[in-house]
Amino acid sequence: MGLISLFQRHRTFAHGIYPVEHKEMTADKPIRRLVFAPELVIPLAQHKGAPAVPLVKVGQEVVRGEPIACADGHFSVPMHAPATGLIRAIALAPTADGPKTPAIYLKVYHAASQAVLYDLERDVDRMTAEEVIAAVQDAGLVGLGGGAFPSHVKMRPPAGRLIETVLVNGCECEPYLTCDHRIMLEQTAALIRGIKLALKATGAKRAIIGVEDNKLDALAHLRQHLPPDLPISAQAVKTKYPQGAEKMLIKSLLRREVPAGGITADIGVAVYNVGTLAQMGELLPQGRGLIERVVTVSGPAVLQPGNFLVPIGTPVRHVLEQVGLRENLGEVILGGPMMGMAVASLDVPIIKSVSGIVALEHEDPDLAYRKVYPCIKCAECVKACPVSLNPSMLGELALARQYERMAAEFNLDQCFECGCCAYVCPSNIPLTQYFRIAKSINRDNQK
């Protein structure tokens, strides 16, 4: 194996970085459940698009799986009760982004069952494409990789566009995270059912599963189980960050580029995370809604790291109490450490887009304050930027507060904040943070 891998060149994209993976902490930990939190907080805006509209009243009893909020139009998804209990309140709740947003507070009954009590079995093989798309929306499915983009919207491309290829994103390029790895190993049947449904709904001719070559066991497992009569293949791609960004994966697997400012449907591609499709394959035949997701809980401050099936709305504090924490807890990050955000309060709930909780220790070298030096024009950031921007120049413009020029002349809007530039900068310049500020100010000015 060692010698062969020397000659194997797995497909990849230009630029990017190789951060330390830290995946060994949880890669062999099977997905397990935790006990219910005493109270769940389900924000109505967990996805891109219009927030859901509550269907329940305060004081109402709900069973696990029952719809508690409906979609507000096409660009929105409904919510389902993640546990059996009582609606305590519909009020403002803290979110990981900062602003408080309306949420449903669900008091979980003591000894509530983990079994889903609300479903409607159906034969997905006999459903038409339109019915599948409607069912995907009814299930409340969104991109579970972190984007939280409503899945059914991607299935219906804008007029004049046709989806030819479905890419299944099993890269999981963020350090620490292993939930997608475990899903590929443990929920293979559901994943393949999900791919079949996605093929039917989009009308695509083929599906390709992209797996980073640090998860070759998952790749081999998938290849073993792929049905021979379906146009589904599995490909290894190079382990490199940000391989899991959809535009990078398209470049690696199809050698095609999404036009700047365009969407993947423009070149006939729809990209789905393996977690999303596994849930699709699991929920649709049973007529259930998305009420829980696999979350990797890892990091040096966690005593028992692992992959857990966590009900939506579980406070981060509850999960961390279950896995145990070391004394010197530092930052807690939702998502991976590259693109994830530190939380300001452990009371924020886990929502549909949270793929991991990474708890760092106080003396973690990544947390230490590093002095910022002037740019030495070494162009390491230019070499790292996966979308071929010039972060060095953008950084100088950000310091001069020329935000509009950054967007107009240096394509700031193409930056998807992967963090590669800041990661490689030898002067420790917080480039990504500069760009986030610039984008936020440009957004405000456009209003």
CB of 428 to other proteins, least distance (A): 12
Does position 229 bind other proteins by CB under 8 A?
no
Q: What x/- string results for residues 369 through 398 when contact with other proteins is judged by CB under 8 A?
A: x-----------------------------
Residue 149 sits at φ, ψ, to 5 deg, of -85, 130
Does position 96 bind other proteins by CB under 8 A?
yes
Does position 104 bind other proteins by CB under 8 A?
no
How far is residue 54 CA from its own chain's centroid? 24
Cα 420 to Cα 81, 241, 294, 358, 390: the distances in Å are 38, 8, 26, 19, 12
Which one of residues 112, 309, 325, 342 is an interface residue with other proteins (CB under 8 A)?
A: 342
> What's the length of the chain?
447
Q: Which stretch binds other proteins (CB under 8 A): 25-33, 88-96, 205-213, 285-293?
A: 88-96
Q: Which amino acid is at 343?
A: V
Does position 107 bind other proteins by CB under 8 A?
no
Q: Please give the Cα distance from 393 to 231 (Å, whole number).
A: 45
Nearer to other proteins, 139 or 429 (CB): 429
Does position 343 bind other proteins by CB under 8 A?
yes
Which one of residues 50, 55, 63, 97 is an interface residue with other proteins (CB under 8 A)?
A: 97
Which one of residues 14, 35, 58, 92 is an interface residue with other proteins (CB under 8 A)?
A: 92
Q: Which helix (H) or strand (E) holds 316?
A: helix 316-323
Q: Coil, strand or helix: which one is 103?
A: strand
> Is 171 annotated in some ligand binding site?
no
- Tell me which DSSP letter residue 206 carries: E
Nearer to other proteins, 166 or 394 (CB): 394
Q: Please give the Cα distance from 283 to 122 (Å, whole number).
A: 10
Nearer to other proteins, 24 or 444 (CB): 444
* Contact in structure between 426 and 380 (CB atoms under 8 Å): yes
Which one of residues 99, 259, 365, 374 is an interface residue with other proteins (CB under 8 A)?
A: 99
* Contact in structure between 79 and 352 (CB atoms under 8 Å): no
Q: Please give the Cα distance from 224 to 74 (Å, whole number).
A: 38
CB of 101 to other proteins, least distance (A): 9
Does position 91 bind other proteins by CB under 8 A?
yes
Nearer to other proteins, 268 or 430 (CB): 430
Q: Please give the Cα distance from 192 to 186 (Å, whole number).
A: 12
Which one of residues 63, 119, 437, 442 is an interface residue with other proteins (CB under 8 A)?
A: 437
Rg (CA), the chain: 22
> Is 173 annotated in some ligand binding site?
no
> Is 415 annotated in some ligand binding site?
yes
Residues facing 108 on adjacent strands: 85
| C-beta atoms surrounding 342 within 10 Å | 14
Residue 222 sits at φ, ψ, to 5 deg, of -65, -45
Triad 70, 71, 74: Cα angle to 5°: 155
CB of 445 to other proteins, least distance (A): 7
Nearer to other proteins, 7 or 369 (CB): 369
CB of 155 to other proteins, least distance (A): 32
CB of 173 to other proteins, least distance (A): 22
Nearer to other proteins, 241 or 434 (CB): 434
Does position 344 bind other proteins by CB under 8 A?
yes
> Is 70 annotated in some ligand binding site?
no
294: its two tokens: 């696999």
Applying CB under 8 A, the residues found at the interface with other proteins are 91-92, 94, 96-100, 341-345, 348, 369, 430, 433-434, 436-437, 440-441, 444-445
